[in-house]
Structure 1
Amino acid sequence: MTMDRNAPFISLVWTDHITGRRGYLVVDRLVRGVASGGLRMRPGCTLDEVTGLARGMTMKEALHYNPEGRYVPLGGAKGGIDCDPRAPEAYDVLVRYLRAVKPYVETMWTTGEDLGLSQELVDRAAAEAGLVSSVQAVYPLLEDETAARRRLAEAFTVEVDGIGLDALVGGCGVAESVLTALDRAGAPRAGTRVAVQGFGTMGGATARFLARAGLPVVAVADIKGTLAHPDGLDVEALLAARDAYGTVDRAALRPADRELPGDAWLSAEAEVLVPAAVSYAVDTENQAVIGARWIAEAANMPVLPEAEELLAARGVTVLPDVVVNSGTNAWWWWTLFGDVEADADQAFTYTRRAMRELVGRMLDRAEADGTSPRAAAHALVADRLPMIAERFGRYR
C-alpha cells in the first residue's frame, strides 16, 4: 500500500439532516495536538477547497514560527459549509454543524471567522452549540488561561475610527505586503493605483491602509458591481456605507464616482490588484485583461495556478495568500499568547514589522532561487516544518 505523506490528518464530510446541506472539516496537521483555521460559509464550498485551505493554514502557521516568541505556531485546519450565508436557514445550519464537530473544536481545532461568517456570528453559534469558545482547544497550551482570554476579549472591543481591531489587522498585513513589494521595486506610493475585489473585512481594511499610505484606490468591487474613480474613491465614506456583507450603499457615492460591471476591477487602470473575496477569481481567461503589475492575494486561493503561470509570463507578480493574508490568524495568537496586548498601535506595529520581514524573506528567496514568490514561500515552509516537528513532534 502506498502512503500519501501529504494526506490530511483528518478529513470529514457532514450532511445536515434537516436541509441536506454539506459541511466539511479538514485538519491538515497538528502541532502540540492543536490546529488552527477559520470556518467559511459559501454556496458551492467543496471538500477539495477546504482541503487546500487547510494546507494553506499549515503553511501560514509555519511561516510565522519564531523560536523566541511566546506564540508557538499550531497546525493547519479549515472548516467549510456549502450554504449561502444570507439564506434564512444559514444560522441554524451553522449551529448544527458546530454541534456535529464539537468534539474536534473542544480538543484540536481552533476556529473563527472566514468568508461569509463574522466572528460575532461564529461566537454566538458556538455558544448555542454548547462550546466554551471557538478557540478552546488551545487553552491548555497557555501559561495563564484567564489572563490570555481576558486579553483577547479586550482586543475584540478595541475600535479604530469606527472599525474593530479584529477586522483591521488582516488588512494591515495585506497592505504592508503590498508596500514592501513596492518599496523593494522602487515604485513610488503616490500615484500607484489600487483595485480591490471584495469590501468586507479583509478588502475594506486593506483599502483603508493603502489609501492612508497614499495609494489611490481607484476601484472597489462588491456583490452589486464595481465602483470606480480614476483619481481615487473616498474609501472612508464607502466603509461607513457598507453592510455586514461588504456591500456598499450606492447613496454614498459622489457624483463623479462610476458604477461599472462586477468584473471591471480586473481591467481597472491600476498597478495593484487585491482580490479579497472569493477563491478562484482569476482564471486562465480573465487574466488576459489584467494590466496590473502586482496581485496581492488577500483572499484564499483567488488566482488559479494556470492563470498565475500566464500572468508571470507577462511580468505580473502574484504575492501569495499564504503570506499576504496571514496577519489575521497570527494576530489572534500573538494576542492570546501575549506577544502583543489589546492595543491597536501595538498590534499594527507588530503586524507591520512581522509582515515586512516575512515578505522580504520571501522575495529574497524568490530572487535567489529564480522562482516565483509562491514557490519561495513554499520553500520557506519546507525549511520550517521540520524545525517545528523536531521541537514539538508531529501528530500524523
Structure 2
Amino acid sequence: MNLQLIRNTAMALKARGFLSYSYQDPVSIFNMEVELSEGGGIRSLFGFWDLYLETVLSGLPLLIPPEVYIWFCKIGIECGNIPSAVGLAGCLIFGQNECTGCNKEIKVECTIPKDDGTLASFVGFRVQHDNARGPMKGGIRYHHEVDPDEVNALAQLMTWKTAVANIPYGGAKGGIGCSPGELSSSELERLTRVFTQKIHDLIGIHTDVPAPDMGTNPQTMAWILDEYSKFHGYSPAVVTGKPVDLGGSLGRDAATGRGVLFATEALLAEYGKSIKDQRFVIQGFGNVGSWAAQLISAAGGKVIAVSDVTGAIKNNEGLDIEKLLKHSVENRGIRGFSGGESIDPSSLLTEDCDVLIPAALGGVINRENANDITAKFIIEAANHPTDPEADEILSKKGVVILPDIYANSGGVTVSYFEWVQNIQGFMWDEEKVNAELKTYMTRGFKDMKEMCRAHNCDLRMGAFTLGVNRVARATVLRGWEA
C-alpha cells in the first residue's frame, strides 16, 4: 500500500473539510484504527484504501463502503470534531446533530425603513458548504426561526442532494430571520435588496447560485437579480426560480412535484408495479404536494387522502384533485371540500394505502406513529420527514423508503436546467425540460440502486453513499495544495 498516496488523499479530504483531526501526520489516523478496531475493522479499512486509491487513479466508479464513513465519524468523535461528510449521514444513522466543515459562513444585519417610517433590523445568513463539484447551490428562506445551525445543516444536505442528482453543483443555503407574512411587499423588497447588497460578493454565476425556499418566491429572485446586476452587470444566471419573463425556466413551478412522480414511477417499476395500481395518501398540499397529487392522478393513481394546514380530506374512491385544487385556491385551504369526508389530520399518515407521500414538514414520521403506518412505500417529498428511530422501525416492517435527497431533487435539477439556459442564452420549451427531468430522475434511481446492490444497503444509505462518493471523488481528483 502506498502511504504517500494515502497521506495525499487524507490531506485532500482534510483541506475541504471532510476529515478533521488533531494529529500532525494523517497516516497516524489510519494507524489509530489498528488500536480501535475489532474483528474485520482493520481488513475493511486497509482493503478499502487499496481499492480506493486504485479506483481514483484508474477513473473507475468510486466505491467507498458505508463502514468507512462510520469509521470517519468515530475518529471525528475521538478528536472532538465530526467530519462534515459523515456528520450529516451520522444524523440519520446515529441521531447526531453536530455537522461541521462548511466552506464559508456569513452573518449580516439588514436594517430597513418600514412603511410607517420606523426602522427594523433583521439578521441574514449565507452558508457555503462545498464546491468540489461546481458552484454552490441552495435556496434562501424567509422565516422567523431561521438560525445558523439550521442553515448550516441544509447547506450540507444540498451538497449531497446535488451529487445524488449528478448535477455540477455543491451545496449552500441562506435565509433571513423574519416573518414575511407580517411585512408588506415593499418592505420585503427593501429587505431583499439590502440582503443582496451584503452578500453580492459572495454569490455569483460560477460561485454560488441562490434559489427560492420557504417564504420566498420568483419575485424575491427577481429583486435579487436586479440588485446584483447593479454591481456586476445583468446576470440572469445568478439566481434560479425566477419569473419566466426574466429568464426563468418553463416547468420550474411543477418541477419538484414532477420529480416526485418520476421517482415514484422508478421505484414502483423496480417492484413490478405502476402508478395505476396504487392508492396514495399525500400529506401537504402546497406547491410540491399539490403538483404531485395532480400528476399522480393524471397518471392513473388513486389519491385517497390529502391534508394541509387547514385540515384533511379522505375519499376511498379517489379524490377529484382538480376540484380539490380549485377549492383550495378559492378558500385558502382544503377544509370544507365537499368531495370527501373530513378526517383528523393527525391520523392521515396511518390511513390504509399503498404509497405514502409526506410533502410538508420534517420529522412527521416518528416512533410514535411508525408502527401504525400501513403504506408499503414512502416517498419523502419533504425534507427529512422520517426520524432515525422511525426509519429503523419501518425498515424492520419491510416498508420501502425513497429518501428525500433523491425523491425531492426535481426542483434543484430544473434549477440547473434554468442556469444552463441562462448561460447559453437559449431557452428550452417545457416538453424538453420535462423530458430531461425524467432522464435525470430515472438515471439517478438506477445509480442509487447500483450503490445499494454494491454495498447491500437500503435506499437511504445507498443515496448518501452515492452522494458522498461523488463529492469525495471530485475532492481527491482536484487535489490539495498547501
Q: Normalized against structure 1, the TM-score is what?
A: 0.81
Matches within 5 A, 1:351-362: 351-362=437-448
SS of the counterpart of 1:45? coil
Q: Could you tell me which residue of structure 2 aligns to residue 28 of structure 1? A: 129
Indicate the structure whose relative CO is greater, using CA pairs within 8 Å and at least 6 residues apart.
1
Q: Could you tell me which residue of structure 1 aligns to residue 373 of structure 2? A: 290
Find the partner of 1:213 among 266, 278, 299. Answer: 299
Greater shift, 127-136 or 78-87, is seen at 127-136
SS of the counterpart of 2:180? coil
Query: Pairwise CA RMSD of aligned residues?
Result: 3.3
Q: Could you tell me which residue of structure 2 aligns to residue 103 of structure 1? A: 201
Q: Could you tell me which residue of structure 2 aligns to residue 248 of structure 1? A: 333
Residue 196 of structure 1, CA deviation: 1.5
Find the partner of 2:214 among 102, 115, 118. Answer: 115
Q: Aligned letter for 1:203?
A: G
Find the partner of 2:470 among 384, 387, 395. Answer: 384
Q: Aligned letter for 1:248?
A: G
Residue 175 of structure 1, CA deviation: 0.9
SS of the counterpart of 2:168? coil
Whether 2:135 is the aligned partner of 1:45: answer no
Residue 373 of structure 1, CA deviation: 0.7
Find the partner of 2:282 among 196, 210, 222. Answer: 196
Residue 307 of structure 1, CA deviation: 2.2
SS of the counterpart of 2:259? helix
Whether 2:226 is the aligned partner of 1:127: answer yes
Contact 1:152–1:342 at 8 Å: present in 2 too?
no
Find the partner of 2:103 among 3, 9, 18. Answer: 9
Query: Hey, what's the Cα distance between the residues in 2 that align with 1:111 and 1:395?
Result: 29
Q: Aligned letter for 1:85?
A: P
Q: Could you tell me which residue of structure 2 aligns to residue 348 of structure 1? A: 434
Whether 2:278 is the aligned partner of 1:278: answer no
SS of the counterpart of 1:175? helix
Q: Could you tell me which residue of structure 2 aligns to residue 136 of structure 1? A: 238
- Highest Rg: 1 or 2? 2
Query: Hey, what's the Cα distance between the residues in 2 that align with 1:152 and 1:321?
Result: 31
Find the partner of 2:417 among 320, 334, 351. Answer: 334
Query: Hey, what's the Cα distance between the residues in 2 that align with 1:137 and 1:32?
Result: 18
Whether 2:344 is the aligned partner of 1:232: answer no
Contact 2:222–2:243 at 8 Å: present in 1 too?
no
Greater shift, 17-26 or 42-51, is seen at 17-26
Q: Aligned letter for 1:116?
A: G
Query: Hey, what's the Cα distance between the residues in 1 that align with 2:147 and 2:435?
Result: 37
Q: Could you tell me which residue of structure 1 aligns to residue 155 of structure 2? A: 54
CA pair 137-186 structure 1, distance change in 2 beyond 3 A = closer
> What percentage of residue pairs aligned between the two structures are identical?
25
Contact 2:285–2:307 at 8 Å: present in 1 too?
yes
Q: Aligned letter for 2:445?
A: V
Query: Hey, what's the Cα distance between the residues in 1 that align with 2:227 and 2:456?
Result: 51
CA pair 88-155 structure 1, distance change in 2 beyond 3 A = closer
Q: Normalized against structure 2, the TM-score is what?
A: 0.68
Whether 2:459 is the aligned partner of 1:373: answer yes
Contact 1:21–1:83 at 8 Å: present in 2 too?
yes
Residue 47 of structure 1, CA deviation: 2.5
Residue 29 of structure 1, CA deviation: 0.6
CA pair 295-227 structure 1, distance change in 2 beyond 3 A = same
Q: Cα deviations across residues 194-245 of structure 1 (Å, max 9, x unaligned)?
A: 122222221121112211111111122111111221122111223334449x
Query: Hey, what's the Cα distance between the residues in 2 that align with 1:288 and 1:16?
Result: 46
Q: Cα deviations across residues 160-194 of structure 1 (Å, max 9, x unaligned)?
A: xxxxx211122111111111111111234334111
Greater shift, 304-313 or 26-35, is seen at 26-35
SS of the counterpart of 1:350? helix
Q: Aligned letter for 2:286?
A: G
The gaps in structure 1 that reach 5 residues or longer are: 66-71, 139-148, 159-164
Residue 153 of structure 1, CA deviation: 4.4
Q: Aligned letter for 1:211?
A: S
Query: Hey, what's the Cα distance between the residues in 1 that align with 2:333 and 2:271?
Result: 33
Query: Hey, what's the Cα distance between the residues in 2 that align with 1:274 and 1:394?
Result: 42
Contact 1:154–1:342 at 8 Å: present in 2 too?
no
- How many matched pairs? 370
Residue 310 of structure 1, CA deviation: 2.0
Q: Could you tell me which residue of structure 2 aligns to residue 86 of structure 1? A: 181
Greater shift, 171-180 or 309-318, is seen at 309-318
Find the partner of 1:73 among 153, 165, 168. Answer: 168
Query: Hey, what's the Cα distance between the residues in 1 that align with 2:333 and 2:446?
Result: 34
Greater shift, 203-212 or 263-272, is seen at 263-272
The gaps in structure 2 that reach 5 residues or longer are: 1-20, 23-80, 85-100, 112-118
Q: Could you tell me which residue of structure 1 aligns to residue 404 of structure 2? A: 321
Q: Could you tell me which residue of structure 2 aligns to residue 68 of structure 1? A: none
